[in-house]
Amino acid sequence: MARIVLAMSGGVDSSVAAHLLVQQGHDVIGVFMRHGEEAVEACTVDGESSAILNVLDPRADHKQGCCSASDAADARRIAAQLSIPFYALNLEGEFRRIIDYFVDEYLAARTPNPCVMCNNWIKFGKLFDYADSVGAEYVATGHYAQLLSDADGELSIQRGVDQDKDQSYVLFGIRREYLPRMMLPIGKYKKTEIRELASQLGMRVADKKDSQEICFVTSGHHGQFVQSRKPADTAGEIVTTEGRVVGQHQGIERYTIGQRKGLGVAMGDPYYVVKIDSVSRRVVIGTYNELETVRLVAKDCNWLLRPPSETFRCDAMIRYNSRAMPATAKLTGEQLEVEFDEPCYGVAPGQAVVLYDGDRVRGGGWIL
């Protein structure tokens, strides 16, 4: 059997992934990744604050952050329970690159996705370097996605069996040549099955809450975190799409496209952020219908299937946990153009658009 480096976060998913790999007879090395932040809280990735892009209110079924000392202790206990070696890697420098990206994107009026970058640069980047150093053939994680071969034998990332937990979207940016060296042990299970198995195995993490998507935000709000890292005068006006000034804001980094709650102005009817201008520092708000988008352009594409050479049909996701929308896509030079069959709402520059062929991830790019 193979030697495998498994990213262990101390959560139930990677813990059960470790068990499954050991059960299959593999030589598993558990690795916990430290990011160097003293306090570990996180922005939310879901909640009732906005039907478009939820970033402000925490979920009751999620804990604040991951990668804390208690998470490391949980991961170490699971490794001991399974009798596998366990190491904590100090990746503060690598995480600093992600933090800088996160801060710079918000200050440029874009909405970053640090989880995709973490997968690209660290989990399926630096961990391969570590795997090579210990003679491991594979790197595994507890993502809800699958690695499957088609009729032609081409390996691809596909949606996880649990559609509610599917994480294939955040794996689109992985280098294609790494696919044969990846393992995703829990992708064929539902979350309820994973928790039940953890309980049967006597794992203390069986009922542990899922962590938030952003592990390093120390203030609990992304705007405060950005200013703590790179103080700047980003305050300005809040205006309607007609140009009417309706208020003042304390910084563009506090807003994202599709945001409804926390606008700082009372309009009577629901209003949403429809545009953010980093030059004028204006936050433009409008009605739900004004969020409507039928076309987007993306750059820095990554393809997990053979790169398309012409216009093609696909399903396109504009953010994690959104619904995949039928669309037509084409490559124009190095840019990707996506035209939706029906309008979608809340397309945010800086986020990833990920294209699917059925359940297979074709690839994607970063929304301009």
Q: Quick: pLDDT tens for 237-279.
A: 999 999 999 999 999 999 999 999 999 899 989 999 999 999 9
pLDDT for 213: 56
Q: What is the pLDDT of residues 142-180, one digit of tens each?
A: 999 999 998 788 899 999 999 999 999 999 999 999 999
Mean pLDDT score across all residues of the chain: 89
How many residues belong to the chain? 368
In order, the DSSP letters of 213-278 are S-S--SSSSHHHHHHHHS-----EEEEETT--EEEEES-GGG--TT--TT-S---SS--EEEEEET
Instruction: Kindly report the CATH number that applies to the domain delimited by 291-367.
Output: 2.40.30.10
pLDDT for 150: 82
The number of beta carbons lying within 10 Å of the beta carbon of residue 47 is 15
Residue 35 has pLDDT above 70, yes or no: yes
Bigger pLDDT: 48 or 121? 121
pLDDT for 61: 39
Q: What is the pLDDT of residues 340-360, one digit of tens each?
A: 999 999 999 999 999 999 999
Taken in order 227, 231, 233, 234, the sign of the CA dihedral is negative
The CA radius of gyration of the chain, in Å to the nearest whole number, is 21
Distance CA 60, CA 209 (A): 9
Mean pLDDT value of segment 87-96: 91
Kindly list the domain boundaries of the chain, sorted by start residue.
3-142+185-211, 233-286, 291-367
pLDDT for 152: 80
Q: Indicate left, alpha or beta for 117 from its phi (over 0: left) and psi (-120 to 50: alpha).
A: alpha
76 membership: H or E segment, kind and range: helix 69-82
Q: What percent of the chain has pLDDT over 90?
A: 77
pLDDT for 34: 85
Q: Report how far apart, in Å, the C-alpha atoms of 272 and of each of 104, 252, 352 are.
A: 23, 14, 20
Catalytic site residue from 118, 301, 314, 344: 118
Q: What percent of the chain has pLDDT over 70?
A: 89
Bigger pLDDT: 310 or 32? 32
Fold (CATH) for 3-142+185-211 = Rossmann fold (3.40.50)
The residue type of 29 is: I
Q: What is the pLDDT of residues 106-155, one digit of tens each?
A: 999 999 999 999 999 999 999 999 999 999 999 999 999 999 998 788 89
Q: Compute φ and ψ for 254, nearest 5 degrees.
A: -85, 0
Distance CA 61, CA 53 (A): 18
Which pTM value belongs to this model?
A: 0.88
Residue 70 has pLDDT above 90, yes or no: no
Token pair, residue 57, equals 């209110």
pLDDT for 41: 34
Catalytic site residue from 43, 66, 115, 215: 215
Token pair, residue 242, equals 């007609």
Longest dimension (CA), the chain: 66
Could you tell me which of 128, 130, 98, 139 has the C-alpha nearest to residue 116?
Answer: 98
Could you tell me which of 206, 209, 204 has the C-alpha nearest to residue 63?
Answer: 209
Q: Yes or no: is domain 233-286 CATH 2.30.30.280?
A: yes
* Annotation says 118 is catalytic: yes
